[in-house]
């Protein structure tokens, strides 16, 4: 089924839970990236631009390459997903098939990264560290772009500053805050905390957490898509 047509309805519980799972995956990736991959973020490009500026201001190479790798990786991931999903209309009740394919691709990339991470014993360095850093940024760029392409059935999952500001404005100014926003904010903290705990208790397994969370999100989001397809097939019959 091609994802043409006008958005209608609103996202159900499964889609909202899937978004929360992706936010948790983002928190796990950011923890691993910042603590083990040269202190840059995989999905928060505002911070990486600031880190790049600081590195330039120090007139030293320390941090410059890391920030550039993260920025380039994020841009590549987002650009690829933008190309794959170009011209497709998002729905309000489910994620379009091409968005799902992009998230599956992200999960595959994270699985490869988890394998490399495990092979390094949870302590990558040199070229391996750079490759993991770039790969994590590609994954986060792909995830961010996929959520943009999903339209009203999604929400930001890799950067939540705007989400927090909107929640405060709507809560204070209009009295209609989104009750799922605290869940997403909590998921970011939980994902980061879980990744940090794994790094301490079982370093080699920490890299697998983002992969597991993205897979959980995809599996959760499949049902609304299947329901949509079944309804469309029933109308055609």
Residue range 64-78, pLDDT digits in tens: 888 999 999 999 999
Model confidence, pTM: 0.88
Euclidean distance between CA atoms 134 and 232, whole angstroms: 40
Lookup: tokens for 10: 């609103």
Tell me the Ramachandran region of residue 87: left when phi exceeds 0, alpha when psi lies from -120 to 50, beta otherwise.
left
Domain ranges of the chain: 18-231
pLDDT at position 57 is 87
Lookup: tokens for 134: 């770039």
User: φ, ψ for residue 8 (rounded to 5)?
Assistant: -150, 160
Euclidean distance between CA atoms 90 and 151, whole angstroms: 5
In this predicted structure, the answer to whether residue 61 has a pLDDT above a threshold of 70 is: no
With a pLDDT cut of 70, the percent of the chain lying above it is 86
| DSSP code of residue 4 | -
Residue range 22-54, pLDDT digits in tens: 999 999 999 999 999 988 999 999 999 998 998
pLDDT at position 136 is 97
In this predicted structure, the answer to whether residue 236 has a pLDDT above a threshold of 70 is: no
Residue 62 confidence class, pLDDT cut points 50, 70, 90: low
Candidates 198, 164, 234, 221; CA nearest to 20 is: 221
Residue range 121-173, pLDDT digits in tens: 999 999 999 999 999 999 999 999 999 999 888 999 999 998 898 888 877 66
pLDDT at position 230 is 54
């Amino acid at each position: 089924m091609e994802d043409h047509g006008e958005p209608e309805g609103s996202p159900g519980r499964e889609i909202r839970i899937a978004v929360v799972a992706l936010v948790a995956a983002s928190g796990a990736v950011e923890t691993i990236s910042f603590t083990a991959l040269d202190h840059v973020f995989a999905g928060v490009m505002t911070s990486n631009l600031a880190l790049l500026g600081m590195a330039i201001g120090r007139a030293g190479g320390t941090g410059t390459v890391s920030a550039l790798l993260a920025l380039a990786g994020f841009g590549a991931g987002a650009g690829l997903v933008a190309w794959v999903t170009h011209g497709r209309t998002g729905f309000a009740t489910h994620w379009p098939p091409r968005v799902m394919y992009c998230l599956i691709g992200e999960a595959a990339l994270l699985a490869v990264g988890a394998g490399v991470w495990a092979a390094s014993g949870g302590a990558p360095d040199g070229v391996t560290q750079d490759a993991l850093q770039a790969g994590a940024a590609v994954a986060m760029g792909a995830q961010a772009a996929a959520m943009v392409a999903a339209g009203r059935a999604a929400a930001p999952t890799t950067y939540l500053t705007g989400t927090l500001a909107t929640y405060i404005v709507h809560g204070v100014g209009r009295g209609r805050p989104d009750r799922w926003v605290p869940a997403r904010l909590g998921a970011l903290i939980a994902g980061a905390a879980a990744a940090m705990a794994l790094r301490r208790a079982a370093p080699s397994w920490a890299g697998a957490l983002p992969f597991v969370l993205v897979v959980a999100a995809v599996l959760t989001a499949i049902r609304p898509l299947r329901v949509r397809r079944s309804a469309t097939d029933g109308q055609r019959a």
